[in-house]
Chains A and B, each alone.
Chain A
Amino acid sequence: MDRKILLKDIAVPGIRTFEVYRSNGGYQSVEKALKRMSPDEVVEEVKKSGLRGRGGAGFPAGMKWSFIDKKSLNPIYLICNADESEPGTFKDRYLMEKIPHILIEGMIGASYALGANTAYIYVRGEYKYIIGILNEAIREACQNGFLGKNILGSPYSLDIHVHSGAGAYICGEETALIESLEGKRGNPRIKPPFPAVVGLYGCPTVVNNVETLANVGFIINNGGSEYARYGTGKSTGTKLISACGNINNPGVYEIELGLSVREFIYSEKYCGGIKNGKELKAVIAGGSSVPILPKDLILQTAAGEERLMTYESLAEGGFVSGTSLGSGGFIVYDEDACIVRNTWNLARFYHHESCGQCSPCREGTGWMENVLHRIETGKGRMKDIDLLVSIANKIEGNTICPLGDAAAWPVASAIRHFRHEFEEHVLNPVKRENLAPTDL
């Protein structure tokens, strides 16, 4: 259960450079694809691999690619979504910093499959140093004939450009990202039409997460069915998990899908257990948007089965007793964590990041933040708890993009699993002096 695809060579000194990456077998997939495979064959292999979008939604990558209208007279674009901003997630940053060429290689294979001659990497504005690393990797790849005109003497040409965001969580949503890349505010678009039909500049466009694209090289080299031998069931391959919170070994881990949650939290190879010998209280398993689960439900499903790190197992029980693998942002809370305070913190985040386009989200996120703040500071009323549930229900499903849902789920799930803590806050109001200083 610990075979690796993406971080296999991470410890090789100098793997960030083209030379070392190439001598460790890098860019072979570009040679193979351009010389021996048709674009459609590449798409087929990715479909066969079962690779699902690693940004959070988990949509099958090959299927997304097959929606592209190749007969369109417009240019086709590939965009790499490197606007990693889901709280608890820092895997793409790690991958791009340590081994940027794996992304460039994957993007060449993907662009070839899609028939794109221009690709953009949209990097969040805070990761400025990453932009420098990517630009250098692109320059090296160009110099060695893997990018630019007539790659390796084939008729295929590709340019990759890095584009900088400027601080907006919402631009991780693919249509908001496209708007932003067009030089506008990051307001998500109504779907349909989907980007595969009307995307960047009105042209067919695929937007894929960094980690998703980084897997493409392996799939081209070894075939989709070999990739599907990693992982288990419909959760094929490996996944980068960013582990953080109250654990002994925070960091980025590549796990083979199917590892048990218990082993991931307690094994020395991964999180190494809870910090300072404390007890585990709760986990947010896939970035701040997914439902929080208490200890008993994250380690086991409601039916008593061992919970696994797979799309299916984490979702087991739906939103009543399950959660989601999401982006792989694994946030661990120890026994001292205050769920009310944490929920308020996240509600404030979503209020701050709402683009303001849809009223349920624009207004609802602010109301949730205010009501949670009231409870946390000891001024809450018992009926506030149901009021929060009601606001969350009114946001969910009533907005253009999933930010509304992402704001509603943490609140609804915290109340579902930890209602007693909210009630306790109302019944025994204490003056909480350590609230962030400027937020009161």
Chain B
Amino acid sequence: MLDKKINHPLHEKENRTICFSDATMVKVKQIIARYPEGREKSAILPLLHIAQEEFDGYLSVDVMDYIAGLLNIQPIEVYEVATFYSQYYLDQVGKYVIEICRTGPCAICGGEKMQTYLEKKLAIKTGETTPDGLFTIKAVECLGACGSAPVMQINTEFYELLTEEKIDRLLEELTVKAKEEKPEKSKWIEKFF
């Protein structure tokens, strides 16, 4: 948690409008209504998930400021939260973020070998993104699927009982899928929030 920093100069504004679509806004209002009046700040975690999904997969300073405005809180309150939780990305990531579990139970079942294999296969180090912008590798702590170790998560999907062949197949499938797929942003939000 301590190794994160905000790279973006605060004064530098982006060239895009940060604003949720009307459909997302309906959902956002529903989420805020789950908490008592005056406690809207409670919605910050789910809203940051949605913002990250809607605005290119990471939380820029402008996006965080936008969320602060929506919840009527100070921007610093959003930065505090965004830098604390490991699922919020402060820098650009690939379309598919591969989070490979490195904690004990996975490690004794070959998790570290899978991490090395991923790095070799994609020719990047953990923490980096492939030049085509498709894959980012991240090493994460226990994903809570130790019974089917080794495990990784790609975006919201779990992939379990990993082998080198399985990884080969999966990366191929995703590469093909990335070319065909049209973005369907609101679907994800409907499903999980």
Interface residue ranges, A against B (CB under 8 Å):
75, 84-90, 93, 118, 124-129, 131-132, 135, 161, 163-169, 180-186, 201, 242-246, 250-252, 284, 288, 329, 331, 333, 337, 341-342, 345-346, 349, 352-356, 434-439
In the complex, what's the smallest C-beta–C-beta distance from A185 to chain B, in angstroms?
A: 4
Besides A126-B143, A166-B86, A434-B113, 18 new A-B residue pairs in contact (Cβ under 8 A), listed by A number: A88-B104, A89-B144, A93-B144, A129-B158, A165-B85, A183-B42, A186-B84, A243-B147, A244-B146, A244-B149, A250-B148, A251-B147, A331-B108, A346-B103, A435-B112, A436-B116, A437-B112, A437-B125
Closest-CB distance, B58 to chain A (whole angstroms): 13
Q: Is the CB of A132 within 8 A of B191?
A: yes
25 contacts between A and B (CB under 8 A): A75-B36, A85-B141, A85-B144, A87-B105, A126-B144, A126-B153, A129-B158, A163-B42, A165-B85, A166-B88, A168-B85, A184-B81, A243-B147, A244-B105, A246-B108, A246-B109, A342-B104, A345-B107, A346-B104, A349-B103, A349-B141, A353-B1, A355-B84, A434-B113, A438-B139
Report A182 CB to chain B, min CB distance, Å.
Answer: 6
Stretch at the interface among B15-23, B43-51, B165-173, B174-182: B43-51
Contact B146 A180 (CB under 8 A): no
Report yes or no: B142 in contact with A349, Cβ–Cβ below 8 A.
Answer: yes
In the complex, which residue of chain B has the Cβ closest to the Cβ of A187? B84
Number of interface residues of B (CB under 8 A): 56
- Whole-angstrom distance between the Cβ of A404 and the nearest chain B Cβ: 15
User: Which B residues are closer than 8 A to A by beta carbons?
Assistant: 1-2, 34, 36, 39, 41-46, 48-49, 71, 73, 77, 80-81, 84-88, 102-105, 107-109, 112-113, 115-116, 119, 125-127, 139-149, 153, 156-158, 191-193
Residue of B nearest to A362 (CB): B2
CB-nearest residue of chain A to B156? A128
- Which partner residue on chain A sits nearest B126 by CB separation? A438
With known contacts A125-B87, A168-B86, A329-B146, A437–B126 Cβ distance under 8 A: yes
Question: How many angstroms from the CA of A242 to the CA of B147 in the assembled complex?
Answer: 7
Taking a contact as CB atoms under 8 Å apart, the answer to whether B44 and A183 are in contact is yes
Q: State whether B115 touches A88 (Cβ < 8 A).
A: no
Minimum Cβ distance to chain A for residue B190 (Å): 9
Contacts of A333 in B (CB 8 A): 108
Contact among B34, B104, B119 for A349, CB-based, below 8 A:
B104
Beta-carbon contact of B108 and A85 below 8 Å? no
Please indicate the chain B residues that have their CB under 8 angstroms from the CB of A132 in the complex: 191-192
| CB pair B45 A163 closer than 8 Å | yes
Highest count of chain B CB atoms <10 Å: which of A167, A341, A434: A167
CB distance from B34 to the nearest CB of A (A): 4
Instruction: Tell me, in angstroms, the Cα distance from A88 to B109 when the chains sit together.
Output: 12
CA distance A436 to B137 in the complex (A): 13
* Chain B nearest CB, measured from A336 CB (Å): 9
Please measure, in the bound complex, the distance between the C-alpha atom of A88 and the C-alpha atom of B104, giving whole angstroms. Answer: 8
Chain B residue nearest to A410 in the complex (CB): B104
Chain B minimum-CB-distance residue to A243: B147
Whether the pair A342, B108 counts as a contact (CB closer than 8 A) is: yes
Are B144 and A168 in contact, CB atoms less than 8 angstroms apart? no
Contact status A166-B85, CB under 8 Å: yes
Asked whether B144 lies within 8 Å of A127 as measured between CB atoms, the reply is yes
Q: Is the CB of A185 within 8 A of B192?
A: no
Residues of B within 8 A of A288 (CB): 103-104, 142
- Cross-interface CB contact of A342 among B73, B102, B107, cutoff 8 Å: B107
* Given contact pairs A184-B80, A437-B125, A88 touches B105 in the complex (Cβ within 8 A): yes
* A167 CA / B109 CA spacing, docked (Å): 23
> Once bound together, how far apart are the Cα atoms of A342 and B112, in whole Å?
12
**Shortest CB distance A191–B (Å):** 21
CB distance from B148 to the nearest CB of A (A): 7
Closest 10 A-B residue pairs measured CB to CB?
Answer: A166-B85, A183-B41, A167-B86, A167-B87, A244-B146, A183-B44, A87-B142, A438-B126, A250-B147, A161-B34
**A residues within 8 A CB of B49?**
125, 164, 166
Cα A118 to Cα B35 in complex, Å, equals: 9
CA of A179 to CA of B91 in the docked complex: distance in angstroms?
26
Q: How far is the CB of B186 from chain A (nearest CB, A)?
A: 14
Cα–Cα distance between A329 and B44 once the two chains are bound (Å): 31
Residues in B neighbouring A90, C-beta threshold 8 A = 144-147
